[in-house]
Amino acid sequence: MMTAGSMAAAPPGAEKPNIVYFLVDDMGYADIGFNGCQDIRTPNIDRLAEQGAVLDSFYAQPVCSPGRSALLTGRYPMHTGIYNVVNPEGTGLRGPLPLAERTLAQALREAGYATAICGKWHLGSDTPEYRPTRRGFDSQYGLMGGAINYFTHAAADKKMGAFDWWRNDVASEDTGYSTHLIADEACRVIREQPAGKPLFLYVAPNAVHGPLDAPAECLKPYADLPQDRIKLAGATAALDDDIGRIMAALAEKDMISNTLVIYSSDNGGPSWNKSCRNDPLRGGKSDIYEGGMRVCAFASWPGNIPGGIHINEPLHVVDWFPTLCRLAGASLSQPLPLDGLDIWPVLTQGAKSPHDAIPLIGSRDGQYAIRVGDWKLLINPAEFKRNVKCSPVELYNLATDISEKHNFAAEQPERVKAMRARLDELLANPANPEFFAPPKQGARKTKRAEPDTAEIVP
């Protein structure tokens, strides 16, 4: 872990790269072309993936806020306390990102970057100090909460008010399809970027989170798909078009050659929603099975990251914080230790994952996992049966069983014991320790740790 006093340094003589991070929302592992999707066309996204490295074993978190927190802090949920979706006026397990957390935007701005967020925040906004422009972003545009109507911007969580659309933390009355508006703003930021100043552009559309909707011209080519998949296809097509527009704006400014583009989902696609697909992974959003936490992802920077490759080393979204700080020459000196590790050698030199173990923390109390090499151990509350059937202890070999079908727990008790001991080490002294308390026998009273209505709307 990085500790106070640690420093990152850009490669000698290197120009600080622009960084564009596309964090899409609720995208199924198999719902994008570069991961094998056949019925939804995503040519702009696929072209970017082909120019770089597809990350086949890239982990995020099972629901929105924890994934965003992990990206922006480089710290796992048991250290930030962000285990589940942040609620307006939430506290404890639903509270905002603590002010003690230093964000990636703060680190990069300190290193001379212009910083902008276009899209979804979802890390706390009830009072001004928790909003993006107080957390390192020079400019903000989009939604603060978990979900909105794509056209009216009506908030799915009524605690956000009637509408959830903001510019620089002030309510905005802009009208239009949300994905298009977010792309418009990203293009504006790019076109107005001063020459010679590096840019960190965090593009976080609400696509393809429910309630799904899309412009008629995006739905029309998919009229023959199953009814429950048409709107997902249309929303994905609109997203792809808009990523193409953002990349065109970078090209217009002659910024492509010095821009690192990263793409990932914040979590897996919702398994209760028949429109999305996580094949061949088991489960989906809110689960600790692979379908909930292993997400579609790539990194592209021609001339720096080899193109046309797949990387199967296990990596986690927390790793981007130290990696990007190193590339930007930003300081890693901070009071709170980082969990993320520098993955640049993995991306550029074929190195192994720097992790000896990756903890995979669920969104429900008492549910968590660990990956060590090819093996994954899952701990589930015995009575928990929400989305998929599960056992209290499960052990899988992901090298041969990516779909998590054969539970080795009974056959390999010593491996279970060793992995559980390593997991317990990683979970020592967690923030909000009540999350890890075993539920009382016969009384599963943990609605606080279930996804919000705003998170499960189809």
pLDDT at 117: 98
Over residues 278-314, the pLDDT tens digits come to 999 999 999 999 999 999 999 999 999 999 999 999 9
Over residues 352-381, the pLDDT tens digits come to 999 999 999 998 777 899 999 999 999 987
| Contact criterion met (CB below 8 Å) for 218 and 150 | no
Q: Examine residue 208 and say whether the peptide bond preceding it is cis (omega within 30 degrees of 0).
A: yes
For the segment 196-213, the average pLDDT, to the nearest whole number, is: 96
| pTM recorded for the entire structure | 0.92
Whose CA is closest to 118, among 200, 193, 27, 46?
A: 200
**Comparison of pLDDT for 161 and 228, the residue scoring more:** 228
pLDDT at 93: 63
Is residue 455 pLDDT above 60, yes or no? Answer: no
- Beta strands 166-167 and 170-171 are antiparallel
Residue 22: which H helix or E strand, with range? strand 18-24
Q: Centre a 10 Å sphere on the Cβ of residue 397 and count the other Cβ atoms it contains.
A: 16
The Cα 130–Cα 87 span in angstroms is 12
Q: Which amino acid belongs to residue 169?
A: D
Q: Examine residue 433 and say whether the peptide bond preceding it is cis (omega within 30 degrees of 0).
A: no
Residues labelled catalytic = 64, 122
Is residue 247 pLDDT above 90, yes or no? Answer: yes
Q: Which amino acid belongs to residue 206?
A: N
Q: Kindly list the domain boundaries of the chain, sorted by start residue.
A: 18-349, 358-442
CA dihedral 29, 143, 232, 57 (to 10 degrees): 0
Confidence of residue 388 (pLDDT cuts 50, 70, 90): low
Helices marked H in 227-377: 227-252, 290-293, 320-328, 344-349
Average pLDDT over all residues of the chain: 90
Is residue 172 pLDDT above 50, yes or no? Answer: yes
Domain 358-442 -> CATH class: alpha beta
| Contact criterion met (CB below 8 Å) for 310 and 56 | yes
Over residues 6-42, the pLDDT tens digits come to 444 444 445 899 999 999 999 999 999 999 999 999 9
- Give 3-state DSSP helix, strand, coil % of the chain, rounded to 5: 30, 15, 55
Residue 348 neighbours by CB under 8 Å, 6+ apart: 304, 305, 306
Q: Examine residue 392 and say whether the peptide bond preceding it is cis (omega within 30 degrees of 0).
A: no
CA distances from 33 to 60, 224, 268 (A): 20, 19, 16
Over residues 418-453, the pLDDT tens digits come to 999 999 999 998 888 877 765 554 444 433 333 443
For the segment 52-72, the average pLDDT, to the nearest whole number, is: 97
CATH tag, 18-349: 3.40.720.10
The Cα 232–Cα 199 span in angstroms is 31
For the segment 160-186, the average pLDDT, to the nearest whole number, is: 94
